[in-house]
Amino acid sequence: VSGAGAPTVDDAFGVIAHPIRRALLERLAHGEQRVTDLADRVPVSRPAVSQHLRLMLDVGVVTERREGRARYYALRRDRLHDIDRWLAQLDEFWSESLRRLGAHLDATT
C-alpha cells in the first residue's frame, strides 16, 4: 500500500480522496483517538497511518495532542465544511444552468 499518495494534498477534497483517510475520518467522527487505536482499525501498517495523519494534520482537518508518550487525534469538523460549501455551489450552478437550458430550448424552437 502506498503512503499518503503521490499528488499534493492541500485541502479537504484531497483528504477524502483516499479510502484509508476516509476510514480514519470515520473513526475520528466518534471522538478523539490514539494513533494505536486508529491503526488497529484500518488494514495498513502503523507508519502508513501516521503518514496519513500527518497529512491530515497539515491540511488542518485534525488536531494532535500529546499526553506522555501517546498522541491523540481529533477531528476539526469545520475544515470539512469546505466540501459542503463546494457541493452547494455546484448545486446552485446546475440549477441555474438547467433553467437557462430550458430558456434556450424555448427560444430556438
Partner 1 sequence: VIDGDRVVYEVHYEHPPDTVWRAITDSAALARWLMPNDFVPEVGHKFAMDARPNFGNVDATVLVVEPPRLLVCEWTINGTSTIVRMELQPVAGGTRLFLEHRGLPSEHQAEFDGGWDSKLRDDLTLVLQGDAEP
Question: Does 83 engage in binding with partner 1 (CB under 8 A)?
Answer: yes
The answer to whether 63 touches 76, Cβ cutoff 8 Å, is yes
d(CA 59, CA 52): 11
**Which residue from 45, 46, 75, 56 is spatially nearest to 12, judged by alpha carbons?**
56
Stretch that binds partner 1, among 33-41, 48-56, 63-71, 73-81 (CB under 8 A): 73-81
By CB under 8 A, residue 40 contacts partner 1: no
Q: Which is nearer to partner 1, 64 or 84 (CB)?
A: 84
Does 66 sit near partner 1 (CB under 8 A)?
no
Of residues 67, 68, 70, 34, the one with CA closest to residue 53: 34
Task: Give phi and psi for 31, each to the nearest 5.
Answer: 130, 180
Q: Which residues bind partner 1 (CB under 8 A)?
A: 1, 7, 13, 16-19, 22-23, 25-26, 29-31, 43, 75, 77, 80, 83-84, 86-91, 93-95, 97-98, 100-105, 108-109
